[in-house]
Structure 1
Amino acid sequence: MSETAGYADRRLGRIRPLGLQRELLQIAAMLTMLIDHIGAVLFPEQPELRIVGRLSFPFYAFGIVQGYLLSGNVKAYMKRIALLAVISELPYVLAFGVWEINALGTLFICLTTLFVMDRIRFLIGKLLIAGAAIACLAWVPADYGFYAAVLILIYRYAQAHAAIVFHCLLNTYYGLSQGAQIQHFSILSTVWLAAGPNVRFSGRPVPRWLWLSFYPLHLTLLVVIKRLFF
Structure 2
Amino acid sequence: MTKTLTLRRIRDVLLTPPTFPEGQPRLKTNMDTNFLKLVAILSMLIDHVGGAFFPEVGWFRWVGRLAFPIFCYCMTVGLLYTRDIKKYLFRLGLFAVISQPFYVLAFHPHDFLAQFTNWNIFCTLFLSLLAMYGLKERKWWLFFAALFVVSWWNFDYSGMGIELMLIFYLCRNHPGIGAALYSLIYLTTLGHVHIEDPLNFVCGSVAIDWTFFTIFAVLFIYIPTHFDLKIPKWFFYAFYPAHLALIALIQFIR
**Shorter-chain TM band:** 0.7 to 0.9
Instruction: Tell which deviates more after alignment, 149-158 or 132-141.
Output: 132-141
Please, what TM-score do these two structures have when normalized by structure 2? 0.74
Which amino acid in the other structure matches residue 155 of structure 2?
A: A
Partner of residue 27, structure 2: 15
Q: Is 1:219 equivalent to 2:231 in the alignment?
A: no
Q: Deviations over 1:120-171 (max 9, x none)?
A: 2xxxx85x86566444433211001011121111111123122222222322
Partner of residue 149, structure 1: 162
Q: Is 1:200 equivalent to 2:218 in the alignment?
A: no
Instruction: Tell which deviates more after alignment, 166-175 or 106-115.
Output: 166-175
Contact 1:21 1:199 in 2 (8 A): yes
What is the rounded CA distance, in whole Å, between the counterparts of 1:27 and 1:227 in structure 2? 28
Distance 1:29 1:90, change over 3 A: same
Q: 2:127 aligns with which of 99, 104, 109?
A: 109
**Count, aligned residues:** 216
SS at match of 1:15: coil
Contact 2:39 2:67 in 1 (8 A): yes
**Deviation at residue 45 of structure 1 after TM alignment:** 2.0
Output aligned runs, 1:1-230, within 5 Å: 3=18, 5=20, 14-15=26-27, 17-18=29-30, 21-97=32-108, 98=115, 99-120=117-138, 126=140, 133-158=146-171, 159-172=174-187, 181-194=209-222, 196=223, 198-201=224-227, 205-229=230-254
What is the rounded CA distance, in whole Å, between the counterparts of 2:65 and 2:34 in structure 1? 19
What is the rounded CA distance, in whole Å, between the counterparts of 1:115 and 1:151 in structure 2? 14
Distance 1:137 1:88, change over 3 A: same
What is the rounded CA distance, in whole Å, between the counterparts of 1:171 and 1:193 in structure 2? 15
Please, what TM-score do these two structures have when normalized by structure 1? 0.81
Partner of residue 6, structure 2: none
Structure 1 runs (4+) greater than 6 angstroms displaced: 6-9, 174-180
What is the rounded CA distance, in whole Å, between the counterparts of 1:171 and 1:133 in structure 2? 24
